[in-house]
Structure 1
Amino acid sequence: MHKLLLLLLSLLVPALGVAEPLRVFASVVPIQTFVKKIGGEHVDARAMVRPGFNPHTYDPTPQQISALAGAVLYVRTGMPFEKAWMARIQSANPAMQVFDARHGLALREMEAHSHDDAEHDADHQEEADHDHDHEAHQEDHEQHDDHDEHAEHEADHDHEHEMDPHVWTSPTQVMQMIGNIRDKLSELAPAHAADFARNHDAFMAELVALDKELHALLDPLPNRKFMVFHPAWGYFADSYGLKQVSIEHEGKEPGSRGLTALIDQAKRDNIKVIYVQPQFNKRSATLVAQEISGAVVAVDPLAPDYVDNLRRVGREFAQVLQH
């Protein structure tokens, strides 16, 4: 009798129209976290870039491409891998909507080398090579984004300089982003709009508290500069009046002249810690740290526990920048 009831229920559930969770792909883990926070039980949120992998060079797996067939939405952030893969991602499911999480946000340019003019003159040819690569990179961007509903918006920003895709490192940017996600999910599943609104408001309260805590930690600091291998913390730095100094530039590690200039700058600015992402090679960061008798410390902008992670990063920066 029990088995018969279970069988009847299994037949009735589809007939009653009980919907499966919306399958949503996000470019990177933090965006997946935001979709989960807003969507709750009504979404099946997945990250295209799996934990531990570099989002600049990532190749989606065949299984991920196949799983896109069941997705209703892809949330992108303009990460480099998307510029190469966007056309294929969309061709795997032409009915899937593509939404740019940066829509309506104030974007910033990726850091150029922030070293002395002398370094710029010495490395002029290297910079010219960077410019040539960037132009080719831009052409690829335009070719692959023909079908993106926000391609025109992004092209306007990316016409002259590469824009920084790491928008989620600023809680204030995320406050606007999660409103976009709430609205998009409500459009796709209007029956759950009230749940999405409640989840949005609860997460917004977390973000407001986090932002207040970070200001209290970082606003009084006498030293405002920190050195990173990959410039992923620009939006965070802008939000709290800090300045990131990047070792890497446009995906390229510095040559010997660049390293020398970075070492000199670190000494002048009393920088003793080089921050690295776990997903990147830390060879250059280690070389700079050795020359300044400093340390290499990992901070991960791709961690899934967004609020707790930014709280940890804020405390780490505060400790180092007190001197």
Structure 2
Amino acid sequence: MRKNRYYNYLYVMLLGIIMLFFSSSIISGAVSEKPAAALTIAPQKEMLNAVAGGEVDSFVMVPPGYSPANYAPAPQEIRDFSEAEIYFSIGVPADIQNILPQAEELSGNLKIVKLFEAVDKKFPPRVFKDGGRDPHIWLSPLRSAYMVNIMAEELAELMPEKKDFFIKNADSYIKKIKEADRRNKKLLAKYKGEKILVYHPSIGYFTDHYNLEMITIEDHGKEPGPRQIQKIIDEARKENIKTVFYQSEIDSKKSRAVAEEIGGKVIQLDPLAENYLGNLTQMAEIMAETLSKRDDLK
């Protein structure tokens, strides 16, 4: 009996302590909500988080593993979207067709920042053979650094008291982009003018920046016909190309078919990796290794 009283007393005391803790937390303002920023694709998340330094929550509208060419947000994602204070739009097809229209309908307190428009004003946009705009701007270190600065300016406007903090963080992250870029340039310098064979034309900004030439199997979302595939195979054989690069979100059996025809292999790249800086370095290293093996066969 005494033991039961003891445990009852202990239970009441613990319950009281817990209630006191939560009530004091609420009174002191310990429970708070950070501003939320929506982003189009995963690579932007590392950029935004580096600038925000934990002061802003962030989420991505095109989840990892899905194509930025045609992804349409689910109703729950739109509800999450409606709670954001700001949206950093990057201008991929899924963004232009399916996300931005939703953002513009929400209006209200959601500020839309069209990064792609600002970038295209600062730097000439890359275009495909058919004249269409190449939307993969984040694979250009110069353009990414510019976007980071814009993010810092916009967050400073959202939270003026944190302006110096955001600017300092942006400068630090841009320094890291420049360091990665310098390493990549040094690594790829001796392969200037070499050709890279890819399925989907997603890495054109990257290859242009490092003075490489991109040959594509797919042409701006269009599947190649037999004549085009044969032309690509002939060029690959002529250039001694033994690797076809592809990405999991937009793949085709034709990648492996072409690789078999040239006696080569396929290697997966991930232009949409959230680990943006690490991925810039990894892509350069993979290409350098591939090109060095090509040199050995000459």
Q: TM-score range by the shorter chain?
A: 0.7 to 0.9
Instruction: Determine if the alignment matches structure 1 residue 163 to structure 2 residue 133.
Output: yes
1:101 aligned residue (90, 95, 115): 115
Residue 39 (structure 1) aligns with? 52
When normalised by structure 2's length, the TM-score is 0.87
Secondary structure of 1:75's match?
Answer: strand
Amino acid paired to 2:224: P
CA deviation map 1:65-120 (0-9, x unaligned): 011111011111111012222212321343311112231431433332xxxxxxxx
Instruction: Determine if the alignment matches structure 1 residue 298 to structure 2 residue 268.
Output: yes
Aligned-pair distance for 1:222? 5.8
C-alpha separation in 2, matches of 1:107 and 1:243: 18
Aligned-pair distance for 1:164? 1.1
Task: Name the structure, 1 or 2, with higher relative contact order (CA <8 Å, separation 6+).
Answer: 1
Amino acid paired to 2:264: G
C-alpha separation in 1, matches of 2:156 and 2:133: 29
Residue 314 (structure 1) aligns with? 284
1:9 aligned residue (16, 19, 25): 25
Residue 7 (structure 2) aligns with? none
CA separation of 1:170 and 1:222: change in aligned 2, threshold 3 A: closer
C-alpha separation in 1, matches of 2:35 and 2:145: 22
C-alpha separation in 1, matches of 2:21 and 2:50: 35
The answer on whether the counterparts of 2:103 and 2:110 sit within 8 Å (CA) in structure 1 is no
The answer on whether the counterparts of 2:103 and 2:112 sit within 8 Å (CA) in structure 1 is no
CA deviation map 1:166-222 (0-9, x unaligned): 111121221111111111111111111122112112211211110110011001126
Instruction: Determine if the alignment matches structure 1 residue 80 to structure 2 residue 93.
Output: yes
Secondary structure of 1:296's match?
Answer: strand
Between 93-102 and 305-314, report the one with greater CA deviation. Answer: 93-102
Instruction: Determine if the alignment matches structure 1 residue 66 to structure 2 residue 79.
Output: yes
Amino acid paired to 1:285: S
The gaps in structure 1 that reach 5 residues or longer are: 113-130, 132-160
The answer on whether the counterparts of 1:66 and 1:92 sit within 8 Å (CA) in structure 2 is no
Instruction: Determine if the alignment matches structure 1 residue 242 to structure 2 residue 212.
Output: yes
C-alpha separation in 1, matches of 2:192 and 2:54: 45
C-alpha separation in 2, matches of 1:222 and 1:168: 21
C-alpha separation in 2, matches of 1:172 and 1:250: 23
Aligned-pair distance for 1:5? 4.1
The gaps in structure 2 that reach 5 residues or longer are: 1-15
Aligned-pair distance for 1:228? 0.8
1:209 aligned residue (159, 175, 179): 179
C-alpha separation in 2, matches of 1:80 and 1:60: 13
C-alpha separation in 1, matches of 2:126 and 2:174: 26
Map 1:154-193 onto structure 2 (within 5 A): 161-193=131-163
Secondary structure of 2:286's match?
Answer: helix
When normalised by structure 1's length, the TM-score is 0.80
Secondary structure of 1:321's match?
Answer: helix
Amino acid paired to 2:128: E
Q: CA RMSD in A?
A: 1.7
Amino acid paired to 2:84: A
Structure 1 consecutive aligned stretches of length 4 or more whose deviation exceeds 4 Å: none
